[in-house]
């Protein structure tokens, strides 16, 4: 299926792409305030040389724009904007509200955020503000107003960049102002009925029953385990508060410049899950993402693909904006491994393969001072006679050569349901095993699909499943009745589904579903689990099909399903570990243990075959993704191996200009983008 095309929802993005950029956008965060004006001239010359057409400016501009309370200085930013316009480079103009200036905290000390332990966080880093502070909101909107008024009609303005990575450093604040806002949010959520809150939070346990809203607090540090539903609601509240902040800035901008798209940079990346982006996607004119590799991971490109496929899900299949990634090493990981030759290009084009119509970086020129002075950039400290700059030049040529892919959609036969709220609930204390974590099975199944050469779209529960040939449901602990019903309907209409353990266990208040696990999916899967049997740390067990497993087993009975494999040893010898239930033309598979990588790959291969999905035809380590549009089809081949590879393709490789008949050869570490002869758009 082509992502997003069967959905009856209005596309979240793409329809409001900046009209000034005819091809793919290419750029970086540009921070000229760190450099003398001479450098600016060189910057613009180099931007033109490589084809940079859109840069993010003023992302951390507040201290320059408002050096003293209510005194605004916009001259320098105006000069930068004029200079961009003169050189044909557009601005992704920051509202500048990410980090207030130092005077702000002297004047408004109660805007500083507080940790769960009651520690105030201080200025001196960045983004030290309480998301619920009315003072912060008022002052930030004041700045947005000034910036919007001043630059509304500026010829360089192409889009608005609200704040920066909202929630990156201040996702949750536990101060008294936040507590008050949390209570207001709860009163509205529970319709002023405190007993509805008591029921949802299960406060009959441990003497937690509330009789007065004033007693309700954020989940601050406590002597014992904090109520899990209270934690869950606080995370929902915290995500909603920051979304509310985004909306407030966006609405002000829309009023002044209705034709200019507004976005903010999300952080769909391995280690961050602070906000429920499923609610954010529809609010952005363009879904934009920042992605940084976990550089020590030798398979980081698979994690990159997972995140890109998740962003595309948030954008409901429409093209999205890669707002930041790095040309090489970052400065904030334990070991900041540099990118190998060609990796910059492979990373950038893999994002494009998976639906990005814009490739941007942090940042244009490497800083000499400040917290990020050891972070890579397009222009490194060593200047332009460098590997990085040569790769930037190459990328500029590539993006021009493949610009026709703009606006096309990614083909993906498989969907995977992943939910931020379920991840949150799994992170809270007191589960049966600490080894069951939010994305573990999602990554395992995704990896198996990636290696089989199958493109997967990551969707939030509630998304339309029509048209997908297979849906993967990895450890979806919290499930609403509506999601469970949608999955059943999907299988009932001929779909194939794979569910892994510890799914369907709780409802959206984290209340356990009764009658046997896996609760919401029990009937669909045709199994009945009476007890979990988590394994000891490091314990590995064998299955009768030769695979091994660890972490988790279940005392499972078949109720309509058949056993695909069973435990040979461990606590439950002879008990089914993997099951399958036929449902009309479809099937529902259940994986009750943590299969090893080989077992997962074997199982997925079997399911893909049954679901009629072509797989396993590409060489190992090669990423092959197709983007299609009206009368157009593009095959991206990203070779992550050191050897040359051959992949079936007919057409012209836009990168090299060579015609490929039947196959394309892509050199070790290289990328090919074949404009295919076959018209697959129909």
Positions in 223-252 near ligand GAL (CB under 6 A) = none
Judged by beta carbon, residue 324 or residue 510, the one nearer ligand GAL is: 324
Using Cβ positions, the residue closest to ligand GAL within the complex turns out to be 362
Cβ within 8 Å of residue 251, ≥6 positions away: none
Q: How far is the CB of 463 from ligand GAL (least distance, A)?
A: 27
| Binder among 62, 277, 280, 292 for ligand GAL (CB under 6 A) | 292
Tokens standing for 634? 């593009």
Full DSSP string of 308-332 = HHHHHHHTTTS-EEEEE--SS--SS
Residues 579 and 520: their CA atoms lie apart, in Å, by 16
Catalytic residue among 66, 165, 318, 411: 165
Question: Do residues 325 and 348 make contact, with C-beta atoms less than 8 angstroms apart?
Answer: yes
Q: Any contact of residue 362 with ligand GAL (CB under 6 A)?
A: yes
Residues 141 and 497: their CA atoms lie apart, in Å, by 47
Tokens standing for 498? 């794979």
Judged by beta carbon, residue 60 or residue 306, the one nearer ligand GAL is: 60
Tokens standing for 302? 């698979």
Helix or strand holding residue 624 (H, E): strand 622-629
Tokens standing for 559? 């109720």
Judged by beta carbon, residue 53 or residue 327, the one nearer ligand GAL is: 327
Cβ within 8 Å of residue 203, ≥6 positions away: 197, 209, 210, 227
Question: Do residues 178 and 218 make contact, with C-beta atoms less than 8 angstroms apart?
Answer: yes
Positions in 659-678 near ligand GAL (CB under 6 A) = none
Judged by beta carbon, residue 270 or residue 372, the one nearer ligand GAL is: 372
Question: Do residues 261 and 17 make contact, with C-beta atoms less than 8 angstroms apart?
Answer: yes
Residues 95 and 157: their CA atoms lie apart, in Å, by 12
Catalytic residue among 66, 318, 324, 623: 324
Q: How far is the CB of 362 from ligand GAL (least distance, A)?
A: 4
Positions in 156-215 near ligand GAL (CB under 6 A) = 164-165, 168
Q: How far is the CB of 327 from ligand GAL (least distance, A)?
A: 11
Positions in 315-334 near ligand GAL (CB under 6 A) = 324, 330
Known catalytic membership, residue 623: no
Q: How far is the CB of 164 from ligand GAL (least distance, A)?
A: 5
Judged by beta carbon, residue 248 or residue 272, the one nearer ligand GAL is: 272
Residue spans of beta strands (DSSP E) within 196-241:
none
Closest CA to 55 of 350, 359, 318, 265: 359
Residues 504 and 473: their CA atoms lie apart, in Å, by 10
How many positions of this chain bind ligand GAL (CB under 6 A)? 10
Judged by beta carbon, residue 63 or residue 216, the one nearer ligand GAL is: 63
Q: Any contact of residue 528 with ligand GAL (CB under 6 A)?
A: no
Positions in 641-660 near ligand GAL (CB under 6 A) = none
Q: What's the first-to-final CA gap in the chain, in angstroms?
A: 12
Q: Any contact of residue 290 with ligand GAL (CB under 6 A)?
A: yes
Q: How far is the CB of 269 from ligand GAL (least distance, A)?
A: 9
Q: Any contact of residue 372 with ligand GAL (CB under 6 A)?
A: yes
Judged by beta carbon, residue 29 or residue 623, the one nearer ligand GAL is: 29
Known catalytic membership, residue 318: no
Q: Any contact of residue 375 with ligand GAL (CB under 6 A)?
A: yes
Residues 223 and 228: their CA atoms lie apart, in Å, by 14
Which of the residues are catalytic?
A: 165, 324
Question: Would you tell me which residues interact with ligand GAL (CB under 6 A)?
Answer: 164-165, 168, 290, 292, 324, 330, 362, 372, 375
């Amino acid at each position: 299926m082509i992502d997003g095309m069967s959905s009856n929802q209005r596309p979240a993005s793409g329809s409001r792409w900046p009209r000034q950029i005819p091809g793919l956008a290419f750029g970086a965060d540009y921070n000229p305030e760190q450099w003398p004006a001479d450098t600016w001239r060189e910057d613009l010359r180099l931007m033109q040389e490589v084809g940079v057409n859109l840069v993010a400016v003023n992302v951390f501009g507040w201290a320059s724009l408002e050096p003293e309370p209510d005194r605004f200085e916009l001259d320098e930013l105006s000069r930068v904007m004029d200079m961009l316009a003169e050189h044909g480079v557009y601005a992704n103009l920051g509202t500048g509200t990410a980090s207030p200036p130092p005077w702000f905290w002297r004047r408004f000390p109660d805007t500083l955020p507080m940790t769960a332990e009651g520690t105030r966080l201080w200025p001196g880093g960045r983004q030290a503000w309480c998301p619920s502070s009315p003072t912060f909101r008022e002052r930030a909107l004041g700045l947005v107003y000034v910036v919007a008024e001043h630059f509304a009609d500026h010829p360089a303005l192409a889009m608005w960049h609200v704040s920066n990575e909202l929630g990156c450093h201040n996702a949750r604040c536990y101060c008294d102002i936040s507590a008050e806002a949390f209570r207001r949010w709860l009163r509205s959520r529970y319709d002023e009925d405190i007993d509805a809150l008591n029921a949802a939070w299960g406060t009959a346990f441990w003497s937690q029953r509330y009789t007065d809203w004033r007693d309700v607090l954020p989940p601050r540090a406590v002597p014992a385990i904090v109520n899990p539903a209270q934690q869950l609601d606080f995370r929902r509240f915290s995500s909603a508060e920051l979304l509310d902040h985004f909306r407030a800035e966006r609405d002000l901008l829309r009023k002044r410049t209705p034709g200019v798209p507004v976005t903010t940079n999300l952080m769909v990346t391995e280690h961050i899950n602070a906000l429920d982006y499923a609610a954010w996607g529809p609010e952005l004119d363009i879904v934009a993402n920042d992605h940084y590799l976990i550089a020590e991971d030798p398979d980081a490109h698979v994690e990159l693909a997972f995140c890109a496929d998740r962003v595309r899900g948030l954008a409901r299949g429409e093209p999205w904006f890669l707002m930041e990634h790095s040309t090489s090493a970052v400065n904030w990981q334990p070991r900041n491994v540099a990118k190998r030759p060609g990796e910059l290009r492979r990373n950038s084009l893999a994002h494009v393969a998976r639906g990005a119509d814009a490739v941007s970086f942090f940042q244009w020129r490497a800083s000499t001072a400040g917290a990020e002075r050891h972070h890579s950039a397009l222009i490194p400290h060593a200047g332009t006679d460098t590997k990085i700059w040569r790769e930037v030049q190459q990328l500029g040529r590539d993006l021009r050569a493949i610009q026709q892919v703009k606006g096309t959609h990614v083909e993906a036969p498989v969907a995977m349901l992943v939910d931020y709220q379920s991840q949150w609930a799994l992170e809270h204390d007191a589960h049966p095993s600490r080894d069951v974590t939010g994305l573990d099975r999602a990554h395992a199944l995704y990896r198996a699909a990636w290696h089989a050469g199958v493109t997967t779209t990551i969707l939030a529960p509630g998304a339309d499943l029509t048209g997908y040939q297979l849906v993967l449901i990895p450890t979806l602990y919290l499930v609403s009745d509506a999601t469970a019903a949608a999955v059943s309907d999907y299988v009932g209409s001929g779909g194939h589904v794979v569910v892994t353990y510890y799914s369907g266990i709780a409802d959206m208040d984290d209340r356990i579903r009764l009658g046997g696990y896996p609760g919401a999916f029990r009937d669909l899967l045709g199994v009945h689990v009476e007890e979990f049997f988590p394994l000891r740390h490091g314990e590995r067990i064998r299955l009768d099909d030769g695979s091994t497993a660890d972490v988790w087993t279940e005392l499972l009975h078949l109720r309509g399903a058949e056993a695909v494999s069973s435990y040979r040893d461990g606590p439950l010898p002879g008990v089914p570990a993997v099951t399958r239930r036929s449902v009309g033309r479809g099937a529902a598979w259940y994986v009750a243990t943590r299969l090893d990588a080989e077992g997962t790959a074997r199982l997925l291969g079997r399911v893909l075959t049954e679901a009629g999905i072509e797989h396993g035809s590409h060489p190992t380590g090669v990423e092959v993704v197709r983007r299609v549009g009206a009368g157009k089809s593009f095959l991206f081949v990203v070779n992550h191996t050191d050897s040359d590879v051959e992949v079936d393709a007919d057409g012209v490789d836009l990168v090299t200009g060579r015609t490929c008949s039947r196959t394309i050869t892509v050199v070790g570490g290289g990328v090919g983008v074949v404009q295919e002869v076959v018209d697959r758009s129909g």
